[in-house]
Chains A and B, each alone.
Chain A
Amino acid sequence: MFKLSLDPQTVKQWKRFRSIKRGYYSAVILVFLLCLSFFAELFINSRALIVSYEGKWFFPTYGKVIPGTTFGLDYDSKTNYKELKKLFKEQKEGNWVLMPLVPYDPFETHDAPVDDVLYTYGAEPPSWETQHYLGTDTLGRDILARIAYGFRIAMSFSLVLLVCSYVAGIAVGCAMGYWGGAFDLLFQRLIEIWNTIPFLYVIMIVSVVVSANFWTLVFVMVIFGWTAMTWNMRTSTYKEKSREYVNAARALGASNVRVIGVHILPNTISVIVTFIPFSIAGGIAALTALDYLGFGLQPPTPSWGELLRSGMQRLDHWWIVTSVAVAIIIVLLMVTFIGEAIREAFDPKKFTYYE
């Protein structure tokens, strides 16, 4: 959209999008959250933000693991900053630790020594005291941390999925609309066949065969999901192809690639942009469903679907299911609001109702 920002049409559409408050603010919030989630380590992490020890400052958030001996502790392994904070407070030697807002990472179980035996807590309700603001899940991991990191994974998953399947779908769709004829017919039939395959079910079958990680899951979902865009691209390319400016470009000797890339594609951009939010929502929903059923990303990856499942198994721990469900609902609602706003902004028929 910004690439063409000099185009008055685009400016108009952008203005209209901004005038639709619900969609515009959803977009602002969602982008903000997404940026925030890429720096989630600064807010939700078991590593300290700043440690001041004997006049020296340490920033352990990013970078290598700092062994406990650095801070005068008696172990070589990863420093437990929560313990360190307590220790420094007790010592009162001017050393201090600044922890992130939520001092837990998504994999860390809630351990505490009970009578000298390390005891892992199960699900605990939300509490300000322990700084588990949304409670812990059945393995004692912080839910807020898991939701935040799960959001990052779900969003990046659906963005990657979006790019991959759109590239494939747009390429094939454009080619079908542009060349038409036998090529078009062949691909029409192929796509119809491809569409009869029950999407989620086949992905489940495949992920039984290959143990799924992020990239294999994207790959499989692109393979079975790229057809979604082809129909729309085919029709709009078909429409644009018969316009005079295409003839003019060809008369000037432009190659096929140039006609498609420089002349036709920019004119079909509205179709593409309109579908993006809905594809993102679909991607998140599909990944969560797969994770819920246990065919998605491998545990212990933080994911919403896995949280949903563990919450469903223990409905008496209501805070698990409630917080994840609310998170999913809010994010998907925002994405849908954005989608509606974009659709309205790109809709040339502004006043088509009966008066």
Chain B
Amino acid sequence: MFVLTRLVPGGPLERALNEAAMAASDGTIGTSFEHTGPGGSTLSEDQMEQMAEYYQFDKNPFYGYVLWLGNICRFNLGYSTKYHKPVWDIIRSRLPISLFYGVATLILTYGVCIPLGIVKAIKHRTVFDNISSAVVFTGYAIPSYVVAIALLTLFASDAGLGLGWFPLSGFVSSDFGSLSPVGKVLDVLYHAVLPLIAYVAGSFAFMTMLMKNSLMDNLAADYVRTAIAKGLNFRTAIFNHALRNSLIPIATSFGNNLSLIITGSFLIETIFNIDGFGLLGFESLVDRDYPVVMGIIVISSLLFLLGNILSDICVAIVDPRVKFGADGSNQ
């Protein structure tokens, strides 16, 4: 049931979203025309009309919307007004970089948080727990872009207090092409250290505390007590009994990471000047390159939907009570 309710609105969901986005873009283009209009525009009336026809502003909004939706279904996101290339090509060329950071963040976050959460739950109220809690909370309180800026001033800038250990910006060095394969890998990693820390800092605290709390809840549950009373040692009780159950909340939030990869990143990408998806979104907005903006919205909401589905699948894998199409015991 749960899965079904999520899947069914897929159709109207996209439609409503596009509608909202379309309204926004209609408005924006309207004003951008006003901007160029009185300001001694270089476009003649004829050209304006031509452009209006090209972007189908001459037809009524609803018709234009249906047309646009039809194009989306055929993966035709239109042409960028700035680059004069299909939007899809531009987005595709930026996607690997964002994907690299996204996947690396995902691996790092889960790789660090789950073990740390387990250790913290077992060693609850010890010195280790308290110290790591302080670190984790600091990370939780500060938004990732502030972390990024702080890191940049401390470790990348060579002026003032900076140490100048890491590059200021970019994904690779300018002489990337001339490097050996090993050198290339090292170069990417060298550039990735600071942004990755900033990425991980955001989701890190939440995940660790989620893991710790849910494991502690489970450790206090009767079935773990029974298992220990039965003669199992503590370690087996945790790893065979409690751990699997406490992974359920973690699995629920897994899919959200997919959209986080894209939408959460544009601040960090702007700060570190990484030529990824987020920076593209920001630049196209500044340049009023609306087809690209629309394309990004469409893709990120598709990813969000995909993420929801992925979460449901993850929950179904971890939680044996949830079956597809069966009753929604996880509601």
What is A's interface to B at a CB cutoff of 8 Å?
A: 188-189, 192-193, 195-202, 204-206, 208-209, 281, 285, 288-289, 292-294, 308, 311-312, 315-319, 321-322, 325, 328-329, 332-333, 335-337, 340, 352-354
Contacts and interface: CB of A to CB of B under 8 A. Distances in A.
Interface stretch (B47-55, B86-94, B147-155, B177-185): B147-155
A318 B161 contact: yes
Contacts of A289: 143, 145, 267
A328 B31 contact: no
A340 B263 contact: no
B141 A332 contact: yes
B220 A198 contact: no
Given A289-B267, A315-B157, A315-B162, A352 B216 contact: yes
B270 interface: yes
Nearest to B278: A201
B27 A319 contact: no
A137 B149 CA distance: 17
A189 B16 CA distance: 11
Q: Would you call the interface of chain B mostly helix, strand, loop, or mixed?
A: helix
Given A336-B140, A353-B220, A196 B263 contact: no
Interface of B: 5-6, 9, 12-13, 16-17, 20-21, 24-25, 27-28, 31, 121, 124-125, 137-138, 140-143, 145-146, 149-150, 152-153, 157, 159-162, 168, 216-217, 219-220, 224, 259, 262-263, 266-267, 270-271, 281-282, 285-286, 288, 293, 296-297, 300-301, 304-305
Q: Would you call the interface of chain A mostly helix, strand, loop, or mixed?
A: helix
Given A189-B9, A192-B13, A336-B140, A209 B27 contact: yes
29 contacts: A189-B12, A193-B13, A197-B17, A197-B20, A198-B263, A201-B281, A201-B297, A204-B282, A204-B285, A205-B25, A205-B28, A205-B293, A209-B24, A209-B31, A281-B141, A311-B153, A315-B159, A316-B157, A316-B159, A318-B159, A318-B160, A318-B161, A321-B149, A328-B146, A353-B121, A353-B125, A353-B220, A354-B220, A354-B224
Contacts of A192: 6, 9, 13
A317 B124 CA distance: 44
Q: Name which of B5, B142, B216, B300 has the most chain A CB atoms within 10 A of its CB.
A: B142
- Listed from nearest, the 5 A-B pairs whose CB atoms lie closest are A318-B160, A316-B159, A336-B141, A354-B219, A315-B157
A201 B266 contact: yes
Given A189-B9, A196-B17, A353-B219, A318 B140 contact: no
